[in-house]
Structure 1
Amino acid sequence: MAEDLLMHETMIAQSLFEAITAEADRHRARPVSARVSCGQLNSVNEDVLVFAFAAVSRGSVCEGLTLEVVQKPLEAHCTDCDRDFRVDLDQPRCSYCGGRHFTLLPDPPLVLEEIEFETE
């Protein structure tokens, strides 16, 4: 189980590394931080992803880069009041009307949102 988790996050870290180094080459600059976002139900473990990114970036232009992982909240559409709301997993009900009849909206995918480069 732990090995599968590490493999999953390492594959994601490798993809992020390739995207960030491509942008670094394009800008001819050293990346110092990057922010990625993913949905709340996404199976990404933040600590393992940060660890895996540090491992795959060792000895490269990305070594030492600060990787921030932001979880986007789970959202749903209430069929009782016809409104979208953020789901509280501890109390899954509409935050507007209290209804329990809702459809989960698609969980946001993992997205590389921002890269900050060192300026000279």
Structure 2
Amino acid sequence: MHETAVAQGLIEAILQEADKQGGRPVRAKMSCGRLNAVNDEVLRFAFEAIAEGTPCEGMALEIEHKPLQAKCRACESAFAIDLSDARCPRCAGDDFELLPDAPLVLDEIEFEKE
């Protein structure tokens, strides 16, 4: 299960940073692209299960899905694409290339100092 591996990696990174910061993690924010096959519900469940008994237990996990980006071949404008209306918002062109999806990133960790 992809989400279990993601949750494990997040917890390991958070615990490493907690050791450096000297505090208890209370909130983390991660982001990923829309095409990443991350199911928020399954990821939160895996995160909570793996976090049990660690300093990460009970912390909040925020997940942001970044929009898919495209680049218009006519005007070279980069834009967040809506696949239900796949046109460039600048020139209304429909000839575009999809840009690489945003990677899975741990953006922020909030700590409570002990």
TM-score tier, shorter chain, comes to over 0.9
Once superposed, which parts of structure 1, at least 4 consecutive aligned residues long, lie more than 2 Å away?
Answer: none
Shift of 1:119: 2.9
CA distance in 2, matches of 1:34, 1:14: 14
Cα pair 1:30 1:61 within 8 Å, conserved:
yes
2: distance between equivalents of 1:79 and 1:98? 11
Residue matched to 2:6: 12
Q: Distance in 2 between matches of 1:9 and 1:112?
A: 14
SS at match of 1:23: helix
Structure in which a larger fraction of residues adopt strand: 2
Residue 81 of structure 2 aligns with which residue?
Answer: 87
Which secondary structure state, in structure 2, belongs to the residue aligned with residue 31 of structure 1?
Answer: strand
Task: Kindly indicate whether the alpha-carbon contact (under 8 Å) linking 1:34 and 1:116 is maintained by their aligned counterparts in 2.
Answer: yes
Work out whether residues 32 and 62 of structure 1, in 8 Å CA contact, stay in contact via their aligned partners in 2. yes
Match of 1:45 in 2: 39
* Cα RMSD (Å): 0.9
The residue aligned with 1:33 is 27
- Hey, what's the Cα distance between the residues in 2 that align with 1:54 and 1:89? 33
**Could you list the per-position Cα deviations for residues 7-50 of structure 1 after superposition, in whole angstroms to 9, with x for gaps in the alignment?**
11001100001000111111111000000000111111111111
Say whether the 8 Å CA contact 2:22–2:113 is kept in structure 1. no
Contact 2:24 2:112 (C-alpha < 8 Å) held by counterparts: yes
1:59-110 CA-to-partner distances (Å, cap 9, x unmatched) read: 1100001000001111100011111111002111111111110001110100
Provide the C-alpha distance between the structure 1 equivalents of 2:70 and 2:45, rounded to a whole number of angstroms: 32
Q: How many residues align?
A: 114
**Given the two structures, how large is their TM-score scaled by the length of structure 2?**
0.96
Corresponding residue number in structure 2 for 1:54? 48
> Structure 2 CA distance, aligned partners of 1:70 and 1:95?
23
